[in-house]
Each structure stands twice: as structure tokens, then as C-alpha cells.
Structure 1
């Protein structure tokens, strides 16, 4: 289990001012093996910062990040179990090297003892597992492959490790519609193998495609969290409702959600960050500034 417990990230805004900007504020959720969790929010909400903290690319300011109950320590053994795939696949490849060099780097770092012939067999199997033909992609330069092919090669790279969790940060945003579904179906196949996936996106339609649970983020804080069918089937926070209302629908005009008359958070007597409306459905304070909160 990969768990975030009140994780906070503050960036300093000046060398000598001592002031900072809180990009992620007391975020808590978990990802189980074989589970897809979607992290949804608008640009600048802190989604990618959370992904970078999970991957050890950005340090946690406060709170805890644990893997199977043990504090995360970024390093080779941790990254053997937790990997990431990012939005722009082209930036992950050196244009002067063939695309399959990423597999050679994995071998050098994690499997130096494996014979070359055996490694080639493993690579070809991983490439076929992501629905690519090794003969068509191995040995090609990045500019000779499409974004979808490069994205799937990056996922194949993770299959050559003892991977347990994958952070997929906006991995479909640069792909065409048909390729997006192919990549999402691939994530579904990996989930069936027991891989836990954090799927970071601002696209609600794609976010609901695979995820068992959804976390809605706004200004660095979780405003709603729970089972996907509950969060989107019966949204309780006005921000979640606005997100759903903004999804284009054929033949329908965009409209604002109905105003929230009662803050379910405070009406329940809640004192923490989130109130449990029902099992596996939590919501944050929805009435501002009346409730005296500063989270939105």
C-alpha cells in the first residue's frame, strides 16, 4: 500500500524573505496494489507536485509518505517498485539515441547480471505486452515513432522492473483520441496484473474510465474523495459539481450548479480536513467565507 498522510509541499518564494507558497496542503489518500486511483483537478491545483513527491523528485515538506508502512526513501530499491510515466514522451528520449536505449539503461542499473540474449527476450516480451511489434519499434529513433508508441515503450520499460505502483501523469493529453483509449486499456491490463496506478489528469471523462476511486484536488487541497461512482454519481462539493457541469454535452448548454445551501462539512460537526458522508465518500468544507475556512 502506498499511502500519503497529510502530505504538504511548500515552495520558498524568495532567497531571504522566508516566505513560501503552499502547493500541496495536507493531502491524504492511499493506492492499493491492483487499484487505479484518479487524481483530478485544474491546472495549478498541485496534481503533478503530488506525483513528483511520490516519485522522490520533490521532497515532502510536512506529513508522511509510506510504502507498506515504511517511510519512503528514494533510491534504486524504491524505484524498482515505484515508477512514473509523464505527459510528454518525446522529452523522455534522447533524440540522438535509438528509442530502445531506455531498456539498456534499465539493464545497466538493475539487471547487469542478465545475459544479453536473455535480456533481449525480456525486452521483446515487454514490448509485445504493451501491444507493439518489436520488429517495428526497436532500433528506431524517437522521431521515427509516434507519441503513442513512445508512451507505450516507456510503460514497457517499467514492466522490466519488479513494479508495484505507477504514477501516470497526464500520459494521454498529447495523444489522439483513439490512442488515448489504447493507452488507458493498457493501464487496465496492468491493473489486472496487480499494478497500482495513480492516474493524474484534468480530463474527467478519461479519469472515470478505469478508476475505482477518485481524489478531487483544488488549490492543493482535497475537496472530495471516494469511490468514483459516488464522487461523480452524487457529487457534494460545489467544485466537483462545477467540474462535472463544465464537461461538454451534445445538445446541452453549460450551466452553473445549484448553490449549496448547507455546508455538509460543518453541519455534521466535523473538525478535521474531510467529513465522511458515507462509506468511501468524503467531502471538505463547501461554504466560504461563511464557514471561516481558507482552503479555497
Structure 2
């Protein structure tokens, strides 16, 4: 459904734009229908930049993002694309105009996509969508954003996407501002939507949340993919030192911070054999079926896993 092929993003920086800042470098992965893919990395790793490029909010510098085989840059009608692809962002309060009632987001959808639907029928659709995200329409409709919690506002945004009957949701840190109990509600909601066939790109820096909800995991560092594969393989057998350091940083109730294991350091890449050889051929290696990792001796750039898998064969 969605495919990223060697996607990069370069910003111009410095006086008169004389310096380049590479935010994303050679990223390749895909998201299929009914699948949750977690995009995991620390702040500044390029996660949100990728999400914005998928949503056409930021232009791609090189590479291609395709949806159903069509490059999204070549789409004649962005409106048709947004009817199938929507995003929900980290801060729900920034998505609402504080001087309007929160349910104005539904009125905007109606005006843009369903102008001929009768008011009574539209209200039934809105109420059905709200119940689908576990909200009581009587408690949220007709209220201003400041009268609702972050969790309620976030679920209203998901309901807005559901009204469009979208096929792909870019969920960018959508639960980082929510309390623990509300997080579980939103995660379970995403699982229900996945069961209905929705593809989800779940952008997060929280490994525990990614483990809970995702089918596949993509680990991003300095704008490049350093490890990717089925979530159970990536977390049970982390190959790249960066992935291991992320896992070691997850707080444990039974241990003090100073008792955590140290960073295991660099390890030879299973494809290149040694860090020295890896520098001449940076990329991702298939260590086990479907599980790819970058050599820790490589530069931070990483190529497309499938290309290397074919080379290896």
C-alpha cells in the first residue's frame, strides 16, 4: 500500500542557505493494509520528518514515496489522497482552534468531502464514529477544546479520520502527552482499527508502546534505518548497538539506573563480516529471515534491505 524507497530529506541551513542539514537519509520500508509499523528513534532522528513527507506536508528531496504504486508527488488531486491518508499528531490541542467548538473538525470534513449529506444523516455518522473511538457524543459534542481532555481530543481526531474511511493513518507520537490509562485506551483503539484493515505508521520514541501495538519495527538513528524486522525478532534479538542501547534505557522497576547493563559497543555486521569491510559497502544485512540490521562500523547511511537481500542471494 505505502512504500518508501531510498527517501532522503535535506534542508538548507546557515547564512544564505550555504550549508546542508540532512534530516533523513536513504530510508526504505513499507506499510501494508491491516498492519502496524512502528517507527522508533530518539528525538531528532527524523521520525516526524518522515511522517510529514508521507502526509505531503514536507517535500521529498530524493527517493520516492508511493501509495498504491503511484508517486505521491505526481498526484493531481491531494484531496483524493487525504481521503485515504490522514495524520494525528502529538499535541492534540494544537489541532483545534480554541475559539471554535471542538466538533468543528467534523463540520470541516462535511463541507469539504460530504457537502450533499443531510445534516441529520451527518450527525448520525459523527456520533457513530465517536462511539467507535469509545467517546460519548453527549459528553464531547458542543464543547470547546479547553473543556475536553487530551485523550478525548486525540480520539476525536481519530474519529475524524474514521469518518473519511481512510486506509492509512500516520500516528505521530499520539499518546506521549496522555496519562497511562488513556494510553492503553488509544492503543487498544489502534489495534481495533488495524483489525478492520487500516494500515498504521506508529511514530514513537517509546519502545514499550511500539512492542505492544506493532507488527513490524523500523529503528531510526540520525535519519537512517539501523534495524528493521518483525517486532518480536527485533526486540528479542536486537542486533545493532543502538537498538540494544534503547532497550537498555527502558526503566525497570526491579533495578536501579546504575545497575543497568552498559552499551554493548560495536559488533561486526553479519553481512559485511567486519567494520573495515563494511565502510566500503554501507547498508542493511539480513541476519535472519525478515530481520535486517546495519553494520555498527558503517557510516550512518543505510540502504534498502531488499536490494541487499538480493545481492546476498
TM-score range, shorter chain: over 0.9
Task: Give the secondary structure class of the aligned counterpart of 1:63.
Answer: strand
1:265 touches 1:283 (CA, 8 Å); kept in 2?
no
Task: Give the secondary structure class of the aligned counterpart of 2:143.
Answer: coil
Task: Give the secondary structure class of the aligned counterpart of 1:197.
Answer: strand
Q: 200, 203, 207: which is aligned to 1:200?
A: 203
Superposition pairs of residues 87-102 of structure 1, within 5 angstroms: 87-102=90-105
Runs of 4+ in 1 over 6 A off after TM superposition: none
2:269 touches 2:285 (CA, 8 Å); kept in 1?
no
Q: 118, 121, 146: which is aligned to 1:118?
A: 121
Superposition pairs of residues 272-283 of structure 1, within 5 angstroms: 273-283=283-293
Q: TM-score, normalised by structure 1?
A: 0.95
Residues in 1 aligned to 2:6 and 2:266: alpha-carbon distance in whole angstroms: 27
Superposition pairs of residues 256-275 of structure 1, within 5 angstroms: 256-267=262-273, 271=281, 273-275=283-285
Match of residue 19 from structure 1: 19
Match of residue 28 from structure 2: 28
Match of residue 240 from structure 2: 237
- Alpha-carbon shift at residue 272 of structure 1 (Å): 5.4
Match of residue 138 from structure 1: 141
- Alpha-carbon shift at residue 261 of structure 1 (Å): 4.2
The total of aligned residue pairs comes to 292
Residues in 2 aligned to 1:178 and 1:32: alpha-carbon distance in whole angstroms: 29
1:265 touches 1:286 (CA, 8 Å); kept in 2?
no
Q: TM-score, normalised by structure 2?
A: 0.90
1:264 touches 1:286 (CA, 8 Å); kept in 2?
no
What residue ranges of structure 1 are gaps of 5+ in the alignment?
A: none
Match of residue 307 from structure 2: none
Residues in 2 aligned to 1:265 and 1:49: alpha-carbon distance in whole angstroms: 29
Residues in 2 aligned to 1:224 and 1:136: alpha-carbon distance in whole angstroms: 43
Residues in 2 aligned to 1:107 and 1:248: alpha-carbon distance in whole angstroms: 45
Residues in 1 aligned to 2:182 and 2:160: alpha-carbon distance in whole angstroms: 19
Match of residue 147 from structure 1: 150
Residues in 2 aligned to 1:89 and 1:177: alpha-carbon distance in whole angstroms: 16
1:263 touches 1:286 (CA, 8 Å); kept in 2?
yes
Match of residue 261 from structure 2: 255
Task: Give the secondary structure class of the aligned counterpart of 2:16.
Answer: coil
Alignment deviations for residues 139-173 of structure 1 (CA, whole Å, 9 cap, x no partner): 11111100000000000000111300000000001
- Alpha-carbon shift at residue 34 of structure 1 (Å): 0.4
Alignment deviations for residues 109-154 of structure 1 (CA, whole Å, 9 cap, x no partner): 1111111111011000000000001011111111110000000000
- Alpha-carbon shift at residue 15 of structure 1 (Å): 5.6
Residues in 1 aligned to 2:268 and 2:108: alpha-carbon distance in whole angstroms: 56
Residues in 1 aligned to 2:285 and 2:44: alpha-carbon distance in whole angstroms: 24
Residues in 2 aligned to 1:127 and 1:180: alpha-carbon distance in whole angstroms: 17
Task: Give the secondary structure class of the aligned counterpart of 2:200.
Answer: strand
Comparing 268-277 and 26-35, the one that deviates more: 268-277
Alignment deviations for residues 252-293 of structure 1 (CA, whole Å, 9 cap, x no partner): 222213334423242187745211112210001212xxx5x3
| CA RMSD of superposed structures (Å) | 1.6
Match of residue 221 from structure 2: 218
Residues in 2 aligned to 1:124 and 1:139: alpha-carbon distance in whole angstroms: 12
Residues in 1 aligned to 2:265 and 2:160: alpha-carbon distance in whole angstroms: 47
Superposition pairs of residues 149-168 of structure 1, within 5 angstroms: 149-168=152-171
Residues in 2 aligned to 1:166 and 1:42: alpha-carbon distance in whole angstroms: 21
Residues in 2 aligned to 1:177 and 1:190: alpha-carbon distance in whole angstroms: 20
Match of residue 175 from structure 1: 178
